[in-house]
């Protein structure tokens, strides 16, 4: 009994992967058009796109809307430092590393209502930060806080906002606690589009909640990084019990 024949798109993905890993097709190089590749491999464009989807999911190829499919530059890992949500200074100082920031006001959605403990529809300040390494997205942050809690000058002074937001740092005044939940999952459609990754790729997702001394939530951040380009570092501090100190 003979074994089953692998689907044709796997053969195409294997061949393109070999060309990429051996340097026949170099990082940053645009692949031939999908129609051209389909003709070369004598398959339908549907089959060809399945092959490209495999490579996109592996992080070897990215599809840029309106431009085509490109071989990704090798990813250099960045470091996320837990607690304050900063990127390490070595990464941020790289001349090829930049972050775009967009700010707006949005009504609180059901998800944000739960995170920030505010009424649905409440006005929130939103900062969307996208980090790029040589033009390739490496991290997405969406930071929210109630408009009435906006730090003095942050909403009016774009340079102050940008300097803080580009580190993915906590924007609000010194919080009493910062709680972070980390998970590996598939990206949402918005994250997949912004990070230019396949919907089957894994992202490291971090939900960060900052509260003040009264327990009020003053900031919520939703962070997503492609799973193959980030290390997250968290430091634990041993706290002595008050009875131990007095004893």
Of all residues in the chain, the percent with pLDDT exceeding 70 is: 77
Mean pLDDT of 39-63: 89
Burial 87-123 (b: 16+ CB within 10 A, else e): beeebbeeeebebebebeeeebeeebbebbebeeeee
| CA 31 – CA 51 distance, rounded (Å) | 13
Q: How far apart are the C-alpha atoms of 153 and 163, rounded to whole Å?
A: 13
- As given in the structure block, the two tokens for residue 14 are 């294997």
Q: Highest mean pLDDT: which of 66-75, 133-142, 164-173, 199-208?
A: 199-208
Least confident residue range of 68-82, 99-113, 126-140: 68-82
**For 147-151, what is the mean pLDDT?**
73
**Does residue 181 have a pLDDT over 50?**
yes
Q: What is the DSSP letter of 157?
A: -
- pLDDT, tens digit, for every residue of 78-101? 778 887 666 665 566 666 777 888
Cα dist. 215→208, 210, 211, 212, 238 in Å? 15, 9, 5, 5, 22
What whole-number percentage of the chain has pLDDT above 90? 36
**For residues 53 and 57, what is the distance between their CA atoms, to the nearest angstrom?**
6
Task: Choose the weakest-confidence range: 72-76, 121-125, 132-136, 189-193.
Answer: 72-76
Higher pLDDT, 198 or 69: 69
Between 3-17, 149-163, 172-186, the lowest mean confidence (pLDDT) is in: 149-163
Dihedral pair phi/psi, residue 198, rounded to 5°: -75, 155
Whole-number Å distance between alpha carbons of 244 and 240: 6
CATH 3.40.1410.10: does it fit domain 78-233? yes
Which pTM does this prediction carry?
0.68
What average pLDDT is seen over the chain? 81
Instruction: Give the residue extent of every domain in the chain.
Output: 8-71, 78-233
Range with lowest mean pLDDT among 66-80, 82-96, 124-138: 82-96
* Predicted confidence band of residue 2 (pLDDT cuts 50, 70, 90): very low
Phi and psi (nearest 5°) for 216? -75, 135
For residues 234 and 53, which has the higher predicted lDDT (pLDDT)? 53
Question: What is the mean pLDDT of the segment spanning 116-145?
Answer: 88
Q: Residue 222 CA to chain centroid, in angstroms? A: 9
CATH number given to 8-71:
1.10.10.10
Task: Give the number of other CB atoms < 10 A from CB of residue 164.
Answer: 20
């Amino acid at each position: 009994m003979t074994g089953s024949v692998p689907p044709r798109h796997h053969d195409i993905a294997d061949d393109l992967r070999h060309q990429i890993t051996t340097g026949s097709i170099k990082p940053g190089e645009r692949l031939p058009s999908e129609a051209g590749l389909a003709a070369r491999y004598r398959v339908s464009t549907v089959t060809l796109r399945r092959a490209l989807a495999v490579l996109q999911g592996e992080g070897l190829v990215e599809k840029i809307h309106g431009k085509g499919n490109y071989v990704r530059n090798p990813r250099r890992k960045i470091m996320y430092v837990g607690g304050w949500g900063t990127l390490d200074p070595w990464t941020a100082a790289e001349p090829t590393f930049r972050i775009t920031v967009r700010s707006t006001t949005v009504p609180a959605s059901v998800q944000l209502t739960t995170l920030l403990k505010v009424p649905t529809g409440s006005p929130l300040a939103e900062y969307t930060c996208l980090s790029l390494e040589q033009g390739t997205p490496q991290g997405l942050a969406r930071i929210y806080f109630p408009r009435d809690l906006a730090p003095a000058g942050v909403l009016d002074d774009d340079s102050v906002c940008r300097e803080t937001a580009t580190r993915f740092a906590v924007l609000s005044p010194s919080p009493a606690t910062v709680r972070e939940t980390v998970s590996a999952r598939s990206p949402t459609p918005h994250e997949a589009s912004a990070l230019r990754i396949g919907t089957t790729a894994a992202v490291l997702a971090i939900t960060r909640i900052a509260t003040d001394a009264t327990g009020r939530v003053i900031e919520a951040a939703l962070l997503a990084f492609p799973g193959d380009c980030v290390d997250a570092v968290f430091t634990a501090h041993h706290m002595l019990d008050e009875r131990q100190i007095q004893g």
